[in-house]
Amino acid sequence: MDILFASPQIQQLVDDIKDFLEEQILPLEPQLLHTPFRDNLPKLHELRQKVKHRGWWAPPLPENHGGMGLSLTEFAHISEVLGTTPYGHYLFNCQAPDIGNMELLLHYVSNNLQQQFAQPLIRGETRSCFSMTEPEHAGSNPTVLSTTAVREGDEYVINGHKWFTSSADGASFAIVMAVTNPDEESTYRRASMIVVPTDTPGFRLARNISIMGETGSDYASHAEVYYEDCRVPVSHLIGQEGEGFALAQQRLGPGRIHHCMRWIGICERAFDLMCRRAAEREISSNSYLGHQQFVQQWIAESRAEIDAARLMVLKTAYGIDQQGAKAVRNDISAIKFFVADILQKVLDRAIQTHGALGITDDLPLAYWYRHERGARIYDGPDEVHKASLARQILKKYGLTTRKS
């Protein structure tokens, strides 16, 4: 079957990557799922070298920076197939938050900082993290931050408390959102993004946060971090002072495409596992799970929902490629809550179909259930995106913002 919005070359690439994952990584999943991520690094690095050798490294980055130079729509197809295993994006060096940080550094810092931070990250020699969310404030409103970066001469002195700084464990540097311009009238112009090496005095990783009983390690972790009189050169500023919120918004469009297509990949893998189980699990003499009408209903609904989600995301990716993220911001909000909801439904049905096996780590379903429940929370909770989309729609009908 032809892939929508894809050239023959992308269709072939998708098929080749599927074959690679099925041969090289899926047989290893039981071992990888039962051991800490850090313990698996030697094997994962070996597989990363194979990916590099095949020319598949960092698909969305420009070729002159070591990537494949794919458009957002083209990469969307790759992101889906990589999402069928928990390790796909990491193997291809296009995992969050690193890929977003690479793009920021390539566009908004000096050549010196690119050489110091971006190039080792692109080569896969280092990792990074993104430090924005604070436990004291609602993550749904990123304009409210307590972390400050006060300029003293040629340095910023950073103080603050962050959490869900994903992948900070083992990262070489963080990109930190901090208030640099507290007196700015617009709340959207108060914060900036700054590069902070994690070996800087005052950077303290307090803990890896346990997620539904799993603390994680190395890349597969979420950290609580303190910045305590943490001094970095002013040259570590990304873009201009006060542009932090605008830069974060620029990340969101492509970032949501990456996430949503990864979620669809997870759905496809969960769907395949569910269908195999339904067809093979005998529940009585000559009667299989797939004969049950409610299981058939789950399968039918999942197929329709996954296909609908894919079409929405590819349409949005194409819109960003053609017009930019601002022009399709309503579509970006819509895919975020729609696909996250479908992801939860399909995963839950797949687990239920597998019975007790579904909640074990013998399959990747429980791993995804733990780690992807946050899909409806991070990057803005579903409720915020729904309210934002509804307001934009109702404006066309003459309904303005409610007066206080």
Residues 360-379: tens digit of each pLDDT: 999 999 999 999 999 999 88
Instruction: Output the pLDDT for position 400.
Output: 82
pLDDT in tens, 216-234: 999 999 999 999 999 999 9
Q: Residue 224: which of 137, 142, 308, 165 has the closest Cα? A: 165
pLDDT band at 1 (very low <50, low <70, confident <90, very high): very low
Three-class SS of residue 111? helix
For 297-304, what is the mean pLDDT?
A: 98
Higher pLDDT, 255 or 156: 156
Q: Where are the alpha helices (DSSP H) in 324-403?
A: 329-354, 365-372, 382-395
**What whole-number distance in Å separates Cα of residue 298 and Cα of residue 295?**
5
pLDDT band at 403 (very low <50, low <70, confident <90, very high): low
For 92-119, what is the mean pLDDT?
A: 96
- The mean pLDDT value of the chain amounts to 94
pTM for the whole structure? 0.94
Instruction: Output the pLDDT for position 43.
Output: 97
Residue type at position 258: H
Q: In the predicted model, is pLDDT for residue 171 greater than 90?
A: yes
For the chain, domains (ranges, CATH) are 8-101 (1.10.540.10), 128-238 (2.40.110.10), 246-395 (1.20.140.10)
**What whole-number distance in Å separates Cα of residue 69 and Cα of residue 344?**
32
pLDDT in tens, 179-212: 999 999 999 999 999 999 999 999 999 999 999 9
pLDDT in tens, 11-39: 999 999 999 999 999 999 999 999 999 99
Instruction: Output the pLDDT for position 404.
Output: 53
**What whole-number distance in Å separates Cα of residue 115 and Cα of residue 137?**
35
pLDDT in tens, 46-70: 999 999 999 999 999 999 999 999 9
Q: Is the dihedral of CA 217, 222, 226, 230 positive or negative?
A: positive
